[in-house]
Amino acid sequence: MTKEMTGAEMVIQAMADQGVKHLFGYPGGAVLPIYDAIFAQTEVKHILVRHEQGAVHAAEGYARSTGKVGCILVTSGPGATNAVTGLTDALCDSIPLVCITGQVPTHLIGNDAFQECDTVGITRPCTKHNYLVKRIEDLPRILHEAFHIASSGRPGPVVVDIPKDIQFAKGVYSKPKEFPHTGYKPKLKGDIEAIKAAVELMANAKRPMFYSGGGVINSGKHASALLTELVRLTGFPITSTLMGLGAYPAADPQWMGMLGMHGTMEANMAMHDCDVMICVGARFDDRITGRIDAFSPGSKKIHIDIDASSINKNVKVDIPIVGDCAHVLQDMLRLWKAQGKHNDKKAMGDWWKQIAKWRERKSLAYRGSNEVIKPQYAIQRLYEATKDKDVYITTEVGQHQMWAAQFFHFQEPNRWMTSGGLGTMGYGLPASVGVQLAHPKSLVIDIAGEASVQMTMQELSTAVQYRLPVKIFILNNGYMGMVRQWQELLHGNRYSESYSEALPDFVKLAEAMHAVGIRCEKPGDLDHAIKEMIDIDRPVLFDCIVDQKENCFPMIPSGKAHNEMILGDSGVSLDDAITEEGKMLV
Amino acid sequence: MNANVPSSSTSHYPNAPMAQKLETHTLSVLVDNEPGVLARVIGLFSGRGYNIESLTVSETEHAKHLSLITVVTTGTPMVIEQIKNQLDRLVPVHRVVDMTLSGRSIERELAMVKVAGKGDNRVEALRLADAFRARVIDATTESFVFEITGKSDKIEQFVALMLPLGLVEVSRTGIAAIARGPEAM
């Protein structure tokens, strides 16, 4: 079915045909025709944010919690440059987004016109792909292609830059199915010989370990179910990266907790000592591996990833399998069952005994207090109060993010939205807006720090405008906590510029923005205050005053191996824990 | 910046990145002939810190809107593998072929070499050009422009010989490569 319409109408029609219900954006001169097209229809609902970065993070939260493509509409120049942080964040964490940017009319491009910038040039390295539309004839194809590229293979953000004259121009629109995608076809099925070899290796393993990541979440709920089935069938222990939390139920006895720089002792020690590692949709990031030449030195490594460039990038693996997690896991399960494979019972018994010893060390333990609220305790109480509810968690970046990963437990995928790869402070509040829109009946909580939340705080107005009852749970220690922790570790307790001397009164701030503010300062009041927060059907800014000097442990200092982690109560002087070379690392 | 691993530390892998030898590879990259595709490829190399030693781009099949990029690059085997995979995941890239690894490729480069001089030097330049099968494509009473085609080392040798004879400047196309035999890439 084809129809004549303007470029601006095509943008909205293409979104509607792609199943888009919500669009996050901010108007401006170069996108006014598209805003006119929005005004004339009801299929796609526009959500007005307060800053373009907020629009992208909201779309990320929307995408991550639904598995659908998140949509953004911003104007030229500053609209586009403000979106860059969010686009880079989505590229790092493989989040499917389509971002429409307005551009000055084609005859003015390159003229330094008002609000002109080289959007495709600026966003080229921070998108999966981008387009500048120069002819109305190309627009329908490009719009549909953008959705296909954003959501297939390793997902990512796609920018479509549309000059204003193209938005006004009339052309013939066609539906998505009239555009066969011939160019971009990611490989989904893994090489069956490699999968056979992997299954063989797994069946003979003495100390096996699953290491899963965000790729399992991106592959869909089905992939998480297959992973869970395979892990239970084999009886192997499993850990996950920050991005992969929820792919395997945390309540399960085979779950070891998160690994990496702030991972549990049992997960990191088991990664170090394992003899067969099965990496599913993770990428051996430096937060995970620690010192690369001491990373799991004795193991044979199997790596499943849809992106061939992730394989052998940081760590050399023995069995690379390029393919979609769900497809490969399905083949693995089928082969494991068909060949009647089973694990080495005796070896597994010994392995689990060793793991039990590491677990006994209780690496997440911290000293409780009746005087001040310990940040870990606050998350534990929040978890206890919400674990039986339909809850979605977003976070900002820093200590609170790591504590949330350690103390909030996820039983399903798509429940946990955090900025992993780029580490964007200010991600959580706008992301929670996107999540709440996608799940209006659910409880959506942004676990925040008082420093991060101030970066995108204006989006609280967005939540108020659309009656989105998001809960912003701020662990307020007055410091940029992770910066302070590193200054303690690496820079002789010189807390240069990491203390916020002029914090807002968050309760009054919430009230000024027509939201609800709650403050809690004593451990004894916490449970009641959390319940009050949950019961309020409006946006809440919860100012939880916590211990100012608490550090996040365990921690693998930069430049150290997995078996050289510092534990909270180990009594190691932090000054001695890190070498000169380690100080060079991030 | 995890590249700053102390070099004295024990290495699990037989070939730690620092100890590996650098290799030079010629890659043929078949791409959609669309605006910005070259910027994507060059941006990938600069953004990820890879080397470009030679780069040629030209449309090959007008009807199919395809261009061929030939790039010569240097790196450890692990880096060369990364470069190929990174190129391959760019959306407008159709195929990446490692011409060096295939071992069946022919590589050629064209150079135009301007030499100015009089007397014996002029005669000697012309004599050497003849030996290298370089053609004279422009001449004045005091200069020649030679056109020479061949492998890079042949061109480099010719240029070196022209240096004492009055070499003025050189313009090189960069390397183009194609596989032997009847098949397309």
How many whole angstroms separate alpha carbon B112 and alpha carbon B149?
Answer: 9
Closest C-alpha among A401, A432, A430 to residue A415: A432
Residue reference for tokens 């990428």: A283
B94 contacts B65 by C-beta, under 8 angstroms = no
Residues of B in contact with A124 (CB under 8 A): 36, 39-40, 43
SS (H, E, C) A467-504: CCCCEEEEEECCECHHHHHHHHHHCCCCCCCCECCCCC
Do A586 and B1 make contact, defined as CB atoms within 8 angstroms? yes
Confidence of residue A577 (pLDDT cuts 50, 70, 90): low
Q: Indicate the residue among B37, B70, B102 that finishes a domain.
A: B102
Please tell me whether residues B119 and B164 are part of one structural domain.
yes
Confidence of residue A70 (pLDDT cuts 50, 70, 90): very high
Helix, strand or coil, per DSSP, at residue A509: helix
Q: Measured between CB atoms, does B19 come within 8 Å of chain A?
A: no
Please tell me whether residues B27 and B93 are part of one structural domain.
yes
- State the fold for domain A192-360: Rossmann fold (3.40.50)
Please tell me whether residues B68 and B127 are part of one structural domain.
no
Residue A441 has pLDDT above 90, yes or no: yes
pLDDT given for residue B57 in this prediction: 95
Residue from the list B9, B39, B86 with its beta carbon closest to the beta carbon of A309: B86
Q: Measured between CB atoms, does B6 come within 8 Å of chain A?
A: yes
Residues of A in contact with B13 (CB under 8 A): 293, 316
Residues of A in contact with B43 (CB under 8 A): 124-125
Which domain, by its residues, includes B79? 19-102
Q: Measured between CB atoms, does B16 come within 8 Å of chain A?
A: yes
Residue A107 has pLDDT above 60, yes or no: yes
Residue B12 has pLDDT above 50, yes or no: no
pLDDT given for residue B3 in this prediction: 40
- CA nearest to A317 within chain B: B13
Please tell me whether residues B39 and B110 are part of one structural domain.
no
Q: Locate A400 and state its tokens.
A: 């609170």
- CA nearest to B64 within chain A: A183
Q: Indicate the residue among B50, B74, B102 that finishes a domain.
A: B102
Confidence of residue A183 (pLDDT cuts 50, 70, 90): confident
Rg of chain B (C-alpha set): 21
Do B11 and A293 make contact, defined as CB atoms within 8 angstroms? yes
pLDDT given for residue B104 in this prediction: 86
The pLDDT tens digits for A117-153 are 999 999 999 999 999 999 999 999 999 999 999 999 9
CA distance B182 to chain A (A): 25
Tell me the CATH number for domain A2-178.
3.40.50.970
Number of structural domains, chain B? Answer: 2
Do B5 and A293 make contact, defined as CB atoms within 8 angstroms? yes
CATH number of the domain that residue B29 is part of: 3.30.70.260
Please tell me whether residues B121 and B93 are part of one structural domain.
no
Mean pLDDT check: name the lowest of A156-160, A173-177, A225-229, B94-98: A173-177
Please tell me whether residues B41 and B89 are part of one structural domain.
yes
Residues of B in contact with A313 (CB under 8 A): 82
Domain ranges within chain A, ordered by starting residue: 2-178, 192-360, 375-545
> Which residues of A belong to the active site?
52, 114-115, 164, 482
Within this chain, domains A192-360 and A375-545 share the same CATH topology: yes
* CB atoms closer than 10 angstroms to residue A171: 20
Confidence of residue A182 (pLDDT cuts 50, 70, 90): low
Do B39 and A128 make contact, defined as CB atoms within 8 angstroms? no
Mean pLDDT check: name the lowest of A266-280, A319-333, A563-577, B138-152: A563-577
Residue from the list B2, B43, B82 with its beta carbon closest to the beta carbon of A125: B43
Residue from the list A183, A184, A292 with its beta carbon closest to the beta carbon of B2: A292
Interface A–B counts its CB contacts (< 8 A) at: 71
Do A316 and B78 make contact, defined as CB atoms within 8 angstroms? yes
Residues of B in contact with A129 (CB under 8 A): 90-91
- CA nearest to B1 within chain A: A585
- Mutation pick from B85, B86, B94, B96 vs chain A, by most beta carbons of A within 10 Å, is B85
Please tell me whether residues B47 and B117 are part of one structural domain.
no
Q: What torsion do the CA atoms of A14, A18, A24, A30 make, to the nearest 10 degrees?
A: -20
pLDDT given for residue B17 in this prediction: 52
Q: Indicate the residue among B72, B102, B132 that finishes a domain.
A: B102
Helix, strand or coil, per DSSP, at residue B144: strand
Does B31 map to a domain? yes
CATH number of the domain that residue B124 is part of: 3.30.70.1150
How many whole angstroms separate alpha carbon B48 and alpha carbon B81?
Answer: 13
The pLDDT tens digits for A345-402 are 999 999 999 999 999 999 999 999 999 999 999 999 999 999 999 999 999 999 999 9
Do B4 and A584 make contact, defined as CB atoms within 8 angstroms? yes
ipTM computed for the complex: 0.89
Residues of B in contact with A581 (CB under 8 A): 4-6
Does B3 map to a domain? no
- CA nearest to B46 within chain A: A125
Q: What is the arrangement of strands in the sheet containing B54-61, beginning at the earlier edge strand?
A: B54-61, B66-75, B23-32, B93-98
Rg of chain A (C-alpha set): 24
> What are the residues whose beta carbons fall under 8 Å from the beta carbon of A139, sequence distance 6 or more?
A7, A10, A11, A133, A162, A166, A171
Residues of B (48-67) whose Cβ lies below 8 Å from A: none
pLDDT given for residue A490 in this prediction: 84
Please tell me whether residues B83 and B134 are part of one structural domain.
no
Strand partners, B140: B143
How many whole angstroms separate alpha carbon A149 and alpha carbon A127?
Answer: 11
Residue from the list A124, A132, A293 with its beta carbon closest to the beta carbon of B13: A293
- Report how many helices (DSSP H) and strands (DSSP E) chain A contains, helices first: 23, 20
Q: Are strands A276-280 and A300-305 parallel, antiparallel or unpaired?
A: parallel
Q: Report the length, in residues, of chain A.
A: 586
Does B9 map to a domain? no
Mean pLDDT check: name the lowest of A478-487, A535-544, A553-562: A553-562
| Superfamily (CATH) of domain A375-545 | Thiamin diphosphate (ThDP)-binding fold, Pyr/PP domains (3.40.50.970)
Report, as an integer, the average pLDDT of A448-453: 98
Residues of B in contact with A121 (CB under 8 A): 39
Q: Are strands B105-116 and B176-179 parallel, antiparallel or unpaired?
A: antiparallel
